[in-house]
Each structure stands twice: as C-alpha cells, then as structure tokens.
Amino acid sequence: QKEVEQNSGPLSVPEGAIASLNCTYSDRGSQSFFWYRQYSGKSPELIMSIYSNGDKEDGRFTAQLNKASQYVSLLIRDSQPSDSATYLCAVKASGGSYIPTFGRGTSLIVHP
C-alpha cells in the first residue's frame, strides 16, 4: 500500500513568517511530486510540481525534494492570511501509471 503522510495540523504562523509543510512517502519508486492548495469548500488547485532532488522556487513558494529520505516539503515565504488553506501533497509512481496518491493534507492558518 503506497502511503503519503502529512501532519494534519493546524500549522499556525504569523503573517510575514515562513510556513514549512512536510510530506513523506513510502513508495521509493515515486517520480513525480505535487503540492495542491485547497481552500475550504473549494476544489484543489495545483501550485507546485517537482521531479528532481533539490529545490524548485516559484514566487513565494519553494518545493524541496529529497528522494533518499523520501520526503518533499513546501516552504511559503512571507506568508499571508490568504495562504490559509489545506495543502495536499500528491505523489505519482513511475511506470506510466497515472494513479496518484494524495496525503490527507495539512491545514495552514496565517494569522495577522
């Protein structure tokens, strides 16, 4: 059973701080990693994807991947109250399968 684990939170950070969200996965053959943001009552929205070890930056967001340790993280710099949402980590294995495995998400609260 392929598993993707996330701390459910809530993770509470003050406005302007760095929010750090973590995700671990069990399938060592995983090749593609994604972070989705889901506001309450809304559908998930893709914010980052990463495929290689290291960091990938996009605006205030940085995804970090460490395949040896089987974890992927998302850093949000200069956190804003509008970043308050649930962040879902998703992992796709190799081999052409499009079946993704999602974590249950981490709730982030950015307070003014």
Which of 10, 42, 66, 111 is close enough to bind another protein by CB under 8 A?
Answer: 42
Assess 111 for contact with another protein (CB under 8 A): no
Question: What is the CA 21 to chain-centroid distance, rounded?
Answer: 6
| DSSP tally for the chain: helices H, then strands E | 0, 11
Minimum distance of another protein from residue 80's CB (angstroms): 22
Assess 57 for contact with another protein (CB under 8 A): no
Q: How many residues in total does the chain contain?
A: 112
109, β-bridge pairs: 12
Q: How many Cα neighbours within 13 Å face the side chain of 71? A: 11
Minimum distance of another protein from residue 71's CB (angstroms): 18
Assess 43 for contact with another protein (CB under 8 A): yes
Applying CB under 8 A, the site for another protein has a residue count of 20
